[in-house]
């Protein structure tokens, strides 16, 4: 992994057809940008627009349909982004019928993966403790998302594994796998590579996660992270797959392998999901995401843009303050949203930042938050 820390930022953002937002172009500062406004004014929708550019989809909805403005057939988000010394123009257009167009510097690109590599973001959406308490998939995505940005060969290995797994599962499901298992060699080879990448990433992530937790909450600093690769570690993946062939055939799917991996979180020797309070789960989720962002920056994936949705509403002032402190020490660009209540604004008073006010879908730069 190379070690070039390249800061990536949004210079300007054009939004058209996103929820209640009027069609507009915003110019952001390279450091912290606070987007304040009343409930329902459109603050989270601005961040949603950014995640469309970053991943092709919204962080709030798996489908793009609810994001497209009522009465419109499509939405468009464009941005001028700065990556190290260069500036790029990127754009996405998504339609109600699933149409997708991606452009980089005016040229259409076919691959969403290629496009998504350009604008890495980390979303801190403090209500989403699912990352800690939910199914393993979200935690696998966190690891794989970081690897996608820092390890050039990762995507190809991941795709190859998924392809072979799909083919094998289809054959198992339809009961057409003969005495020979033609996939097992490829599955074991690509799966072991995939798992090796993940193990290295978790080694890198663990101390950073702990360090961030120490800042956020002393008592949580003993939280343990452990990667469960998805098969019995007393044997190789090839052996594990061979051992489970009979039950795979009987039940019609592949039981073991990196598609069953999990990043386990334990606190005081027990699963975090069972023993942490809601507030502690939120801090743990935030620490995981911040650690992911820092690893991406340090390992050459580019320092991501942090999208922080309404942190003051979900955390007490002392902890929200610590999260803001960590974000501001990061040298990254931050887009923060907040309701413009005096309590929320007190949190940001005194910090140098670019301010925006949102009212009924219209975002305007202001000198004072309200
Ligand atoms: N597809 C849509 N078209 C038009 N308006 C929408 C759509 N989806 C949601 N809205 C409205 O957009 C507004 C902004 O929502 P949101 O960005 O979540 O506000 P905030 O984060 O400021 O509380 C809400 O009032 C909501 O009713
Ligand atoms: Mg909101």
Determine how many CB atoms are found less than 10 A away from the CB of residue 233: 10
Contacts of 330 (CB under 8 A, 6+ apart): 293, 294, 297, 303, 306
Mutate to test the pocket of ligand 1, among 15, 38, 45, 95 (most ligand atoms within 8 A of CB): 45
Whole-number Å distance, alpha carbon 55 to ligand 1 midpoint, is: 20
DSSP labels for 243-312? HTHHHHHHHTS--SSGGG-EEEEEETTEEHHHHS-HHHHHHHHHHHHHHHHHHHHHTTS-BPEEEEE-HH
Burial 282-294 (b: 16+ CB within 10 A, else e): bbbbbbbbbbbbb
Mean of all residue pLDDT scores within the chain: 93
pLDDT at 165: 98
State mean pLDDT over 232-242: 96
pLDDT at 17 over 90: yes
Which is it for the CA torsion 323, 328, 332, 337, positive or negative?
A: positive
pTM: 0.94
Distance CA 323, CA 362 (A): 28
349 CA distance to ligand 1 middle (Å): 27
pLDDT at 53 (0 to 100): 97
Q: What is the mean pLDDT of residues 251-263?
A: 97
Q: What mean pLDDT comes out for the span 297-326?
A: 90
Which residue, among 128, 299, 143, has the nearest Cα to 225 in the 3D structure?
143
Q: Which residues line ligand 1 (CB under 6 A)?
A: 19-20, 37, 39-45, 66, 68-70
Ligand nearest to the CA of 42: 1
pLDDT tens readout for residues 56-101: 999 999 999 999 999 999 999 999 999 988 999 999 999 999 999 9
Which positions ≥6 away from 66 have C-beta within 8 Å?
none
Burial (CB < 10 A; 0-12, 13-18, 19+), residue 244, is middle
Q: Which residues of 259-269 are buried (b: 16+ CB within 10 A; e: fewer)?
A: bebebebbbee
Average pLDDT of the residues in 310-329: 89
What does the pLDDT read at residue 292? 97
What domains appear along the chain, each with residue ranges and CATH number? Answer: 1-120+302-370 (3.40.50.300), 135-301 (1.20.1050.90)
Residue found by looking up tokens 């949203």 in the block: 337
> Over the stretch 282-294, which tens digit does the pLDDT of each residue have?
999 999 999 999 9
How far is 370 from 367, CA to CA, in rounded Å? 9
E strand or H helix at 10: strand 8-16
Q: Looking at residue 1, what is its pLDDT?
A: 42
- Per residue in 152-168, pLDDT (tens digit) is 999 999 999 999 999 99
User: Looking at 116-120, 268-272, 300-304, 342-346, which range is the least confident one?
Assistant: 342-346
Q: If we measure between CA atoms, which residue out of 260, 289, 262, 269 comes closest to residue 129?
A: 289
User: pLDDT at residue 219 above 80?
Assistant: yes
* Close Cβ partners of 281 (under 8 Å, ≥ 6 residues apart): 129, 132, 133, 272, 273
Which pLDDT score, from 0 to 100, does residue 314 have?
77
Band (179; pLDDT cuts 50, 70, 90): confident
- Give me the residue label for tokens 């094998």: 168
Q: How far apart are the first and last CA of the chain?
A: 45
Q: Which ligand is nearest to the CA of 40?
A: 1
Q: Which long-range contacts (CB under 8 A, 24 or more apart) does 319-325 make?
A: 319/216, 319/217, 319/279, 319/283, 320/347, 321/347, 322/215, 322/216, 323/124, 323/216, 323/286, 323/290, 324/348, 324/351, 325/215
> Which atom of ligand 1 is nearest the CA belonging to 68?
1
Expressed in angstroms and rounded, the spacing between residue 204 Cα and the centre of ligand 2 is 33
Q: Look at residue 2 and tell me whether its pLDDT is greater than 80.
A: no
Contacts of 87 (CB under 8 A, 6+ apart): 11, 80, 81
Tokens for 198? 């993940």
Asked if residues 69 and 19 have their Cβ atoms less than 8 Å apart, the reply is yes
Q: Which pLDDT band holds residue 370 (cuts at 50, 70, 90)?
A: low
**Can you give the pLDDT at residue 4?**
58
Give the residue-averaged pLDDT of 332-336: 95
**pLDDT for residue 369:** 56
Q: Which residues are close to ligand 2, an ion, with C-beta < 5 A?
A: 44
Instruction: Give the pairing of strands 334-338 and 32-36.
Output: parallel
């Amino acid at each position: 992994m190379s070690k070039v820390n390249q800061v990536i930022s949004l210079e300007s953002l054009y939004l058209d057809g996103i929820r209640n937002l009027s069609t507009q172009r915003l110019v952001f500062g390279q450091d912290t940008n606070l987007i304040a406004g009343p409930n329902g004014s459109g603050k989270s929708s601005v961040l949603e627009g950014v995640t469309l550019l970053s991943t092709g989809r919204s962080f709030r909805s798996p489908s793009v349909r609810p994001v497209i403005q009522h009465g419109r057939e499509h939405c468009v988000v464009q941005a001028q982004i700065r990556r190290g010394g260069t500036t790029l123009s990127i754009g996405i257009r998504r339609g109600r019928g699933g149409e997708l167009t991606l452009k980089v510097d005016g040229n259409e690109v076919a691959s969403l993966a290629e496009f998504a590599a350009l604008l890495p973001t980390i979303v801190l959406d403090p209500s989403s403790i699912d990352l800690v308490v939910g199914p393993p998939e979200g935690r696998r995505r966190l690891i794989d998302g970081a690897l996608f940005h820092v390890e050039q060969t990762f995507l190809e290995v991941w795709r190859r594994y998924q392809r072979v797994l799909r083919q094998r599962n289809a054959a198992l499901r339809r009961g057409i796998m003969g005495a020979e298992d033609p996939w097992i060699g490829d599955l074991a080879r690509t799966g072991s590579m995939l798992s090796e990448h993940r193990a290295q990433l978790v080694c890198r992530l663990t101390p950073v996660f702990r360090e961030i937790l120490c800042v956020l909450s002393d008592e949580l600093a003993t939280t343990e992270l452990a990667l469960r690769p998805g098969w019995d570690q007393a044997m190789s993946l090839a052996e594990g797959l061979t051992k489970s062939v009979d039950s795979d055939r009987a039940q019609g799917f592949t039981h073991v392998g990196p598609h069953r991996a999990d990043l386990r979180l334990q606190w005081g020797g027990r699963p975090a999901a069972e023993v942490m309070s809601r507030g502690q789960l939120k801090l743990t989720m935030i620490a995981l995401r911040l650690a992911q962002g820092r690893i991406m920056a340090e390992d050459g994936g580019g320092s991501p843009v942090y999208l922080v949705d309404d942190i003051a509403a979900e955390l007490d002032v002392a902890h929200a303050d610590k999260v803001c402190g960590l974000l501001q020490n990061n040298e990254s660009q931050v887009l923060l949203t907040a309701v413009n209540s005096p309590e929320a604004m007190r949190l940001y008073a005194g910090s140098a930042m670019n301010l925006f006010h949102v009212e009924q879908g219209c975002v305007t730069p202001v000198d004072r938050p309200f």
